[in-house]
Amino acid sequence: MVEVKVISSKDNRLHKWLYLTFRIGTVCSLCFVSLGFILAIITKAEFTDRVVPPSQFFQRISELDPLAIITLGILVLVLTPFSGVILAVVTF
C-alpha cells in the first residue's frame, strides 16, 4: 500500500522560496563567470594572479578585472546553498 503525504501550504511556500533562491543564485553565478570569461577574451587578459587578494577584491571588480568577476561568480555559487539554509531556518 502506498502512503500519500500531504504537503502543507507552509511547506509548499518554503519549497518555492528555496527553488527561487537556488535558481537565482545559480543563474547569477553563471552570468558572472560568463561575463568574466568574455571580458578575458575581449581584453586578452593574462591571468598572472591565481587569487584575487581580499583587500583588492572590490577595487578590481569596479575595474572590471576578469579574474575578479570570475571569482565573484564562484563566490555567489558557493554562498547559494548557504543562503538556502538561512532561508529554511528563518521560515522554520
User: For residue range 18-55, what is the model confidence (pLDDT) as tens digits?
Assistant: 999 999 999 999 999 999 999 999 999 887 777 888 89
Alpha-carbon span 33 to 22, nearest angstrom: 16
Q: Predicted confidence band at 92 (pLDDT cuts at 50, 70, 90)? A: confident
Nine cell digits for residue 60: 578590481
pLDDT of residue 29: 98
In terms of Cβ atoms closer than 10 Å to its own Cβ (0-12, 13-18, 19+), residue 87 is middle
Residue 68 confidence (pLDDT) above 80: yes
The residue with greater pLDDT, 81 or 5, is 81
Lowest mean pLDDT segment, chosen from 4-18, 19-33, 70-84: 4-18
